[in-house]
């Protein structure tokens, strides 16, 4: 019973061990710029980039072979882009969506919690959209697929430091993040084999200047700045005349590496070319610094939502993952002052604060995932304290971002497009 409940928590909440997966009468925060918190510097672009980042995650729930899964994902993306309010039917897919499917998960305890899927499921999804009548593009990177053990165990939870092999900086990237970026940069279109770089080379060949955004939420919030860094390190292969301006929007991401690596990203993307938007009540951006991880038991104190036995154990497991990883690293790098570091300088970080919810007033209407999570918690016999903590965590990670940016209908429209294009089962 304990294992079943713990497995549910890890899979359904997207929140603690790996910090990444998966209305009401809410008090409004201070708003400006047509519905964004005052901390947001460019409301319209931020709304667009969040909408595109969330759209990239619509491969969740699919399984089977690459052709049908890709086709269904494309239908879902094509459904949401015209109706997402911030996009205003003004963005069209020009590359992708393309996916990496994985069946296996990982090793050790995480592998035991996530046995191999019956069929391959999406682990990484990415597409490129172009804004109508502008030389403006967005590379949209999906977050954690809740059904992918590989995402949870490898790209999310594998925080082993690994030297970034491109550029001179001296820092370390998380191994899971590095693996995710390697998959993304090698993705090819199924219908006309072109990698992302092949496509961007066409953009770079346009005589006029262009802007390319890289955006992602959750796992995508860690992958997006790292992928953008890789593109900048390899600019000569796709933009030899330096005509393209690269910009990054990272939402709800954990730290992709150590402080030196974060400083390297910050140095490559100065000013408004790097935008880091994290919800102060979201547990995910608290990973992987031990200092911020230790804040999690009390993060929802003001609404009397505190972790139960299972969720507190998950927080402890996250802290242990941090300490064990650093301890192992120190054995081979005894003099290196390793510490996980957040991307973005103080001026590039644009924090928002999701409204905390007093149970049981969960905003099911504009956060459909909570309905599923609550039902699963009840079915698995999860206690009230653990259930409330999971629901608050899921809301703050999944739905507080669009709600605080005045995009309250985005998650509902996403859910409707998923339901309108049902799961692709490609069973033998």
The pLDDT confidence band at residue 32, using thresholds 50, 70 and 90, is very low
The pLDDT confidence band at residue 191, using thresholds 50, 70 and 90, is confident
The answer, yes or no, to whether residue 428 has pLDDT greater than 70, is no
Instruction: Tell me which of 108-112, 314-318, 344-348, 408-412 is least confident.
Output: 108-112
| Average predicted confidence (pLDDT) for the chain | 89
The answer, yes or no, to whether residue 365 has pLDDT greater than 90, is no
- Return phi, psi of residue 202, to 5°: -65, -40
pLDDT at 115: 77
Please classify residue 108 by burial: count the beta carbons closer than 10 Å to its beta carbon, then call 0-12 exposed, 13-18 middle and 19+ buried.
exposed
Give mean pLDDT, residues 156-182: 93
Higher-pLDDT residue of 423, 14: 423
Q: What are the boundaries of each domain within the chain? A: 2-418
d(CA 228, CA 212): 10
Query: What tens digit of pLDDT does each residue of 395-405 get?
Result: 999 999 999 99
Contact by Cβ (8 Å): 397, 373: no
E strand or H helix that includes residue 139: strand 136-141
pLDDT at 228: 98
The pLDDT confidence band at residue 118, using thresholds 50, 70 and 90, is confident
Contact by Cβ (8 Å): 277, 250: yes
Would you identify the CATH topology of the domain 2-418?
Answer: Rossmann fold (3.40.50)
The answer, yes or no, to whether residue 97 has pLDDT greater than 90, is yes
């Amino acid at each position: 019973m304990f294992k079943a409940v713990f497995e549910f928590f890890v899979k359904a909440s997207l929140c603690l061990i790996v910090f990444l997966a998966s209305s009401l009468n809410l008090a409004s925060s201070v708003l400006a710029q047509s519905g964004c918190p005052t901390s947001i510097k460019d409301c319209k672009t931020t709304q667009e980039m969040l909408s595109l980042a969330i759209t990239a995650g619509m491969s969740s729930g699919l399984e089977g072979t690459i052709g049908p899964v890709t086709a269904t994902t494309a239908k879902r993306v094509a459904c949401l882009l015209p109706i997402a309010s911030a996009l205003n039917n003004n963005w069209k897919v020009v590359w992708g969506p393309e996916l990496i499917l994985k069946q296996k998960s990982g090793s050790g305890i995480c592998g035991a919690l996530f046995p191999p899927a019956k069929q391959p499921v999406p682990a990484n999804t990415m597409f490129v959209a172009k804004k109508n009548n502008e030389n403006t593009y967005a590379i949209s990177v999906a977050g954690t697929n809740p059904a992918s053990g590989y995402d949870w165990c490898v790209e999310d939870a594998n925080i082993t430091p690994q030297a970034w092999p491109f550029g001179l900086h001296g820092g370390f990237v998380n191994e899971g993040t590095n693996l995710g970026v390697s998959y993304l940069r090698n993705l090819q279109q199924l219908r006309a084999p072109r990698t992302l770089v092949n496509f961007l080379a066409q953009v770079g060949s346009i005589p006029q200047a262009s802007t390319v955004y890289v955006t992602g939420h959750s796992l995508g919030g860690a992958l997006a700045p790292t992928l953008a860094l890789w593109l900048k390190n390899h600019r000569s292969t796709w933009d030899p005349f330096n005509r393209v301006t690269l910009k990054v929007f990272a939402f709800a991401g954990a730290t992709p590496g150590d402080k030196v690596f974060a400083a390297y990203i910050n140095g490559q993307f100065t000013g408004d070319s790097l935008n880091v938007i994290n919800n102060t009540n979201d547990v995910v951006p608290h990973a992987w610094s031990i200092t911020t991880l230790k804040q999690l038991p009390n993060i929802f104190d003001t609404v009397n939502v505190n972790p139960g036995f299972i969720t507190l154990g998950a927080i402890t497991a996250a802290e242990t993952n941090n300490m064990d990883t650093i301890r192992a690293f120190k054995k081979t790098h005894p003099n290196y002052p390793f510490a996980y570091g957040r991307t973005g300088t103080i001026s590039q970080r644009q924090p928002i604060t999701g409204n905390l919810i007093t149970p049981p007033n969960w905003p099911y209407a504009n956060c459909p995932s909570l309905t599923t999570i609550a039902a699963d918690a009840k079915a698995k016999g999860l206690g009230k304290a653990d259930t409330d903590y999971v629901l608050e965590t899921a809301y703050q990670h999944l739905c507080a971002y669009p709600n605080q940016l005045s995009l309250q209908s985005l998650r509902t429209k996403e859910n409707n497009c998923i339901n309108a294009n049902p799961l692709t089962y490609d069973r033998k």
